Amino acid sequence: DVKVTQSSRYLVKRTGEKVFLECVQDMDHENMFWYRQDPGLGLRLIYFSYDVKMKEKGDIPEGYSVSREKKERFSLILESASTNQTSMYLCASSSHRRTTYEQYFGPGTRLTVT
């Protein structure tokens, strides 16, 4: 079974703090994704990566950066957290060796910025 894990289920941070969210997958997937999910807005893609050290901006990259130093690990960084970044953050992974694009999600991190 595909397993995607995220470093925290719940996180509370203060405005201006630097926040790191980590995601690890154990299926040797090439692609990894970071989404945020807000009521009424659905899933919105922040960044994705299709290989180590590679990254592509998604729909809402502003205020975020990412790092992928190892194939299994993809980190999302909030450089200076703001209250409008309070959200559910979801990591996902997929393989492009199989051209089916199925994505598998981690359990999510609910981040509150106060």
| Under 8 Å between Cβ of 31 and 95 | yes
31 contributes a contact to another protein by CB under 8 A: yes
Q: What is the rounded distance in angstroms from the CA atom of residue 45 to the CA atom of residue 62?
A: 11
Binding to another protein by residue 97, rule CB under 8 A? no
Contact 26, 86 (CB under 8 A): no
Q: Does 108 bind another protein (CB under 8 A)?
A: yes
Does residue 101 touch another protein according to CB under 8 A? Answer: yes
90 near another protein, rule: CB under 8 A: yes
Positions in 34-73 near another protein (CB under 8 A): 40-43, 45, 48, 50, 56, 58
DSSP category for residue 10? E
